[in-house]
Amino acid sequence: MKPHLFISSLALAAVAGAASAQEACSTYEIQRGDSLRELTIEVYSTEDFRIIFEANRDVIGNNPNVIRVGDVLTLPCLEDIGRAPEVPQTEAEAMAAEMAAELVAAAEKRAAKAIADAEARVAEAKAEAKKASEEAVIAAKAAAREEIEAARAEGAALIRNADDSESPAIRDRQLLLITGGNYAPFTDEALPYRGLYTNLVETAMLRAAPEQGYKIQFVNDWSSHLDLLMPTLAFDATFPWSRPNCETAEALSENDRNRCETYDFSNPFYEVVDSFFAREGSGYEQTLTYTDFAGATICRPEGWTTSHMDAVGLYEPAISLMRPVAPDDCFHAVMDGSADIVAIEAHVAVEAIARLGYKHRIIENPNLAAIKPLNVMTHKDNPDGEAILETLNQGLAIMQQSGEWRDIVSTALRHQMENG
């Protein structure tokens, strides 16, 4: 409802009546907090709410104290209720009415300007407060970052000082580490920080031996890492690779035994789920025991350890093992029938199945899976191998104690979820 300016003067009565008539002869939708009495005062300048009540019984009902938000009421005309505005009878009265109208207009203009000025001052004050608040937030974040870095440095110092022995000595040269791509979210040159695992390794090196020079080279032919490059000591370390259960060498495949005999391993920087995937409707996607895989052809890409399969009896001749170079080849083999099952890490499978268009056609067996650690490996013939692994383990411990490991992992996984 519009506010009215009432002027206490007989000469201005006609103007006041005209203002009321403008609100009468119309409809009004009930708002929260309204009452018939206040509405009648506003429109007709009287507390006699029966003016509106009698005209709207069909809407309101029999109780004038109960009106509902959203109901539309008819506001009777002044003539219909015997309150028609007085018409000026003399020239003097007409002049007074005109002057009153001008006074009302001027007052309304001044009021509008005052309200606009007040709103402008409020907006300016809010803007200043917001700016001050934003600056305070920026300052608080900067201070928090400084505190976090200080805590991490303190944690690093505590770990370094916990051992009286000196840090392992690495010769004064640049270390060369090798990894490969197309292994999201862990290693790929297109990922932030070249992948989650790459970021963990670099940060561990920085925390434990900031003075040590190193370089990480990407070679996407993963099999060449173990078959050619590492044995010739062209590189000092490679990652990420899983460590077979070297304590039970008699149960391992020949490749896994060779890995245990040829390489040393860091502590696990991360763990993944190794699982089995089969074509929908094959039965292999629902089996509850490994023995049900007997006689099946299982595809596992070259370079992936089979230690967890060997441990549960999934080795030849109980099964047929297919070892292509690329994981994609395994999924194609399942679809064309040359393989029954793909044994691979769950995150690799989810990405490949979606990318290859096999979603809902190749599915995971939820009953048979294993946790597999991912490590950095050095060749046993490398004279600096043990020192490199000790340095990385030390850096990893610093990161885990300070919380930096968790920050890196959560950031990388969030990026993977948001970007696929």
Check whether 120 has a pLDDT greater than 70.
yes
Check whether 157 has a pLDDT greater than 80.
no
Average confidence (pLDDT) over 154-181: 66
Of all residues in the chain, what percent carry a pLDDT higher than 70?
85
Q: What are the structural domain ranges in the chain?
A: 10-87, 102-165, 176-419
How much is the pTM?
0.53
Check whether 17 has a pLDDT greater than 60.
no
What three-state secondary structure class fits 358? coil
What three-state secondary structure class fits 282? coil
* Closest-CA residue to 277 (of 256, 247, 301, 253): 301
Check whether 165 has a pLDDT greater than 70.
no
Position 8 scores a pLDDT of 31
The domain 10-87 having CATH identifier 3.60.21.10: the answer here is no
Position 286 scores a pLDDT of 92
What mean pLDDT value characterizes the chain?
83
Helix (H) or strand (E) holding 206: helix 196-208
* CATH code for the domain defined by 176-419: 3.40.190.290
* Weakest-pLDDT range from 63-77, 115-129, 358-372, 385-399: 115-129
Position 124 scores a pLDDT of 86
Check whether 284 has a pLDDT greater than 60.
yes
Better-predicted residue by pLDDT, 219 or 119: 219
* Weakest-pLDDT range from 4-8, 71-75, 208-212, 304-308: 4-8
Helix (H) or strand (E) holding 341: strand 341-345
Helix (H) or strand (E) holding 107: helix 91-162
Per-residue confidence band for 223, with pLDDT thresholds at 50, 70 and 90: confident
Contact 252, 260 (CB under 8 A): yes
Average confidence (pLDDT) over 171-178: 85
Per-residue confidence band for 114, with pLDDT thresholds at 50, 70 and 90: confident
Q: Which two tokens stand for residue 315?
A: 């080795």
